[in-house]
Amino acid sequence: MPAQPLRSVPTNIITGFLGSGKTTAINHLLSLKPPSERWAVLINEFGQIGVDASLVTHSDGVELRELAGGCLCCALGPSLPITLATLLRKARPDRLLIEPTGLGHPARIVDTLQSAQFADVLDLRSIICMLDPAVLTQPEVMQQPGFLDQLNLSDVIVLNRIDLAESNLTREALELSQHMFPPKQGVFRVDRGQLDLAWLDLVHDGQLSAQFPEAHAESAKASPLMAPVISRPEQSPQPRQPLFKQGQAEGYFSYGWVFTAADRFDYRAIQTFLDSVSEAIRIKAALGIGHTWVGYNRNRGDKAAEVSELAWRRDSRIEILADRQIDSAELEKHLLACLQ
């Protein structure tokens, strides 16, 4: 009798720059794997030989595949769909973990996982970025586009190796991580890659656990007993029906929208409109534009908005901060008119 087709295999990307502790974290996760489950692990190394796979603990119920000699997002990109299909067919896993090379741009891997070929097969859940606070003293790393992509794309940031980091660097890394846009589903501190299994599912079926996180989850020193629970919102955006939320405090007014990833904006239209919102003292946006994504950032008084390529892939979201009330219905009407 032929095997049933695989559907919605929970999938996680464990990313992070060189030396951040990705392999150690995967080893820890494998030690927590329920005995009844089969997991598959795909490891990508930039080097030609491939060493990381030999450092991963082999155990029953784990199928391991390694790709060496370049990045899955670049040189090895064309081979990724074939490798994935082969691994899934052989392992038939209950969960898939992917560790890209520390030099990679994981956004392109996400594009593959969410392509038509794998849309029904894989359920991309939390993308976790391991961050060693010590990199804050390494400007050559901080300026790496791949490093910034890994942070921007992630749903969860885990500050790792904090037992070795200076306390001021840990505080600075924590502050930076908690104030990224779009906001993270969780920011945690750990030693030796001690990830909690619950963090793998902070994103489920493509839906973020918190579309507008009121507070960033963080524990002083995370452990399975201390892992926070972030409740899921009662509603999620639908195509051309964004989720809207507004707030008011200390004389300022905030307006925020979350659009589905399927909603794509016309670049000229959305930039022209956001540039025209004169009441805004700050506008931040992550926008799906055609086949790519861009970040938009404008402060009142800027000669021009800062627009840059963005690794974010989950949804499009816009936040407008003003010092007086704006007609939110009118703003939303203009935003919808900018959709392709």
Strand order in the sheet with 252-260: 243-249, 252-260, 315-322, 280-289, 292-299, 306-309
232 secondary structure, DSSP code: P
Nearest to 113 by CA among 98, 128, 134: 98
Residue 2 has a pLDDT of 59
Residue 205 has a pLDDT of 79
Radius of gyration of the chain (CA): 20
Residue 273 has a pLDDT of 97
**Going by C-beta distance under 8 Å and a sequence separation of 6 or more, which residues neighbour residue 2?**
none
CA pair distance 200, 187, nearest whole angstrom:
13
Residue 121 has a pLDDT of 94
Give residue 110's identity as a one-letter amino acid code.
V
Which residues of the chain register pLDDT less than 70? 1-2, 45-59, 68-78, 210-234
DSSP string covering 139-193: HHHHT-HHHHHHHHH-SEEEE--TTTS-HHHHHHHHHHHHT-SSPPSEEEE-STT
**Going by C-beta distance under 8 Å and a sequence separation of 6 or more, which residues neighbour residue 70?**
46, 76, 101
Q: What structural domains and CATH numbers belong to the chain?
A: 9-208 (3.40.50.300), 243-337 (3.30.1220.10)
Residue 180, class by beta-carbon neighbours within 10 Å (0-12 exposed, 13-18 middle, 19+ buried)? middle
Q: Is 189 in contact with 161 (CB distance < 8 Å)?
A: no
Q: Retrieve residue 291's tokens.
A: 């086949």
Q: Retrieve residue 245's tokens.
A: 């939320």
Residue 182 has a pLDDT of 86
CA pair distance 291, 212, nearest whole angstrom:
25
DSSP helix, strand, coil percent of the chain (3-state; round to 5):
25, 30, 45
Give residue 125's identity as a one-letter amino acid code.
R
**Going by C-beta distance under 8 Å and a sequence separation of 6 or more, which residues neighbour residue 170?**
133, 159, 162, 189
